[in-house]
Amino acid sequence: MPLSKIQTTNNQVVPNLGRRNIIINGAMQLAQRQGGALTVGVNNTYCLDRWKFYLNGSCAASTQKLPATDSNVSSLHTASGQTFSNVMSIDCTTAATLGSTDLLGVLQLIEGANSVPLAGRSCTLSFYVKTNVTGQYYVTFKIGSGRAYIAPYTVSSANTWEKKTITLTMDTLANLNTSGSIATGAGFQVYFGLRLGTSSQTSSTINAWHDGNFYGTSSQVTWGTNTADTFYMSGVQLEIGDTATDFEHRSFGEEEALCQRYFETGTFSQRISGTLVRTGQSYMTTKRSTATVNVYYDSNKAAAGTINISNSADAGWAEGGNVNFWNMEKNTGSDHNGRDYNGFFTAEAEL
């Protein structure tokens, strides 16, 4: 740790440690929706926990949480000097030339209340990246569609892990409140772009806050012109201060709880009687807002509203709840005394 990060408090030397990282799941440990499977990326949907996939245009890509045994994870250990369990991969599955409205990237929305401490402060984003497509990329800090700060970084060597660091002064609290949220809505957004059509490019000065909904400039490299294109990322950290400290490894349980504020999945198993049935259970973690609730027959989560009653599929269940619990209800029309109700649920309160 550099001497500049050692703080003196009442004649005690106190290292600047702990609870630094604003990013949730920056080490890519959690993927409650897709597990470890290679999954087709769908525009404006979440892939790994807290990471949203953006895709517009003819290019297509899949995402995956790579396990510790993957060579792309083990090679990160050597490059970073730290031991990471997972990496996010983005694999091109359909190559395409760049269209004017193309966008491809992943982003994390930071809740308003968590964004407030950063407002007007010097902050540093650091992350590890590896891709076969070298050149200039952009990380864009956005507040809704009203404000944007475009920060470039360059991938110098193909298929080699590189640590990137971006230091900026975050936008003011007033702008955060006007264009975003300072409460439970979306505050800042951190967007990592891979492709960028002309309609989302700006000619404004980079490394400065501007009004508008922009993601980069014409200098953005175009990833995804070859199905061999890959993009790996992990160790994403955003912290207050002008120095990138070592990645803050939180315990898995802490990281899981942070993710569950926005999305949670689990199982239920109950024995219930009656004809007009309402049942449910508490969440592991209080949600950001009232959640969208789905109940399912099995782990495939094929069609919501269908559960398992005594090993038979039973459809037509209404789903509801609040920030603390979910429930489901159905007038079964018959006496269900002593029947076993099983299934899976999801609760989504994402930004």
Partner 1 sequence: MINIENIKSVKKYNWDTDWNYQVELKSGGTSGVPNDTNNIDCLVVLEWSEVDGNTIADAD
Q: What is the dihedral of CA 101, 107, 112, 115, to 10 degrees?
A: -120
With beta carbons less than 8 A apart as the criterion, state whether 289 and 296 touch: no
Q: Which stretch binds partner 1 (CB under 8 A): 44-52, 114-122, 135-143, 164-172?
A: 44-52
| Residue in 30, 319, 336, 344 binding partner 1, rule: CB under 8 A | 319
Distance of closest approach, residue 218 Cβ to partner 1, in angstroms = 31
- Rounded-to-integer distance, Cα 130 and Cα 152, Å: 16
Nearer to partner 1, 163 or 278 (CB): 278
Distance of closest approach, residue 294 Cβ to partner 1, in angstroms = 5
- Rounded-to-integer distance, Cα 53 and Cα 40, Å: 10
Which residues between 148 and 187 bind partner 1 (CB under 8 A)? 184-185
Q: Kindly report the length of the chain.
A: 351
Question: Taking CA 116 as the corner, what is the angle to CA 112 and CA 122, rounded to the nearest 5 degrees?
Answer: 130
Nearer to partner 1, 28 or 291 (CB): 291
Four-residue CA torsion sign, 21, 22, 26, 29: positive
Which residues between 324 and 343 bind partner 1 (CB under 8 A)? 326-329
- Region for residue 19 given its phi and psi (left: phi exceeds 0; alpha: psi -120 to 50; beta: otherwise): left
| Residue in 16, 45, 202, 279 binding partner 1, rule: CB under 8 A | 45
| Residue in 227, 322, 332, 342 binding partner 1, rule: CB under 8 A | 322
Task: Take residue 305 and report the two structure tokens written for it.
Answer: 């509203």
| Residue in 50, 195, 250, 288 binding partner 1, rule: CB under 8 A | 288
| Residue in 304, 336, 341, 343 binding partner 1, rule: CB under 8 A | 304
What element of type H or E holds 141? strand 135-143
Distance of closest approach, residue 285 Cβ to partner 1, in angstroms = 16
With beta carbons less than 8 A apart as the criterion, state whether 340 and 271 touch: yes
Binding residues with partner 1: total (CB under 8 A):
33
Distance of closest approach, residue 330 Cβ to partner 1, in angstroms = 11
276 binds partner 1 (CB under 8 A): no
Q: Which stretch binds partner 1 (CB under 8 A): 41-49, 95-103, 113-121, 189-197?
A: 41-49
DSSP 34-49: TTTS-EE--TTEE-ST
What is the binding site for partner 1 (CB under 8 A)? 42, 44-46, 184-185, 288-294, 302-306, 316-322, 326-329, 348-351
